[in-house]
Amino acid sequence: MNIAVGSKNKAKLLAVETVVQRVLMQQFTIEGLDVASNVSEQPFSDEETRQGAMNRAVAVREASGAEIGFGLEGGVKWLGTELYLCNWAALASEQGIYTAAGAQIPLPKEIAHALLRGEELGPIMDRYTNEKNIRQHAGAIGVFTDGLISRAQMFEPIIEMLVGQYRYWAKQQSCKE
């Protein structure tokens, strides 16, 4: 099975590879391609973050010719007066598009203020941690959970939900045939 991920981000690729290896139990290849999300550089709602994931899943599947395309998108959203991390993923296949969302935690006020000034979370977190490319590894979730959950681990349950939906609906389709 050929699988494509709409990103070359190491954390996103690791999340997909880990889950696919564990649950699909068949030979597969995974290719990461940079494709456009066609949403803001810093998505600011569940809706926009979800749309970015869907756009990436469809675009990477079309660009690669893969059987399955994954799009993973991180964003932020308001919950009351606090700005929270949010993350969405999508799986595009011949059957259709499946979506799922994951962990959400509040961001410190200083991070929220920088986001509100128009900065993107990745560079803010690099500055905050004095590290480079934090989004490729721990991500904001890793920093603010004291290393208990990495960015890849954050995406894994979402990928599981997508693969589960894909498998369920594939079984339903084969029962009808």
Q: What is the distance between the alpha carbons of residues 67 and 172, in angstroms, rounded to a whole number?
A: 18
Name the pLDDT band for 137 (thresholds 50, 70, 90): confident
**H helices present in 8-137, as ranges:** 10-23, 46-64, 109-116, 121-129
What is the DSSP-derived secondary structure letter of residue 117? T
Sign of the alpha-carbon dihedral angle for 167, 171, 172, 177: positive
φ and ψ at 101, to 5 degrees? Answer: -125, 165
Q: What is the pLDDT of residues 6-64, one digit of tens each?
A: 999 999 999 999 999 999 767 899 999 999 999 999 999 999 999 999 999 999 999 99
CATH code of the domain occupying 2-176: 3.90.950.10
pTM attached to this predicted model: 0.92
What local confidence, expressed as pLDDT, does residue 26 receive? 76
The closest of 105, 99, 100, 53 to 74, measured between CA atoms, is: 53
The answer for residues whose C-beta is within 8 angstroms of residue 86's C-beta and 6 or more apart is 46, 49, 74, 75, 76, 77, 101, 104
% of the chain exceeding 90 in pLDDT: 86
The mean per-residue pLDDT over the stretch 81-101 comes to: 96
Task: Tell me how crowded residue 141 is: count the other CB atoms within 10 A of its CB.
Answer: 24
| Rounded Cα distance, 60 and 70, in Å | 7
pLDDT for 25:
66
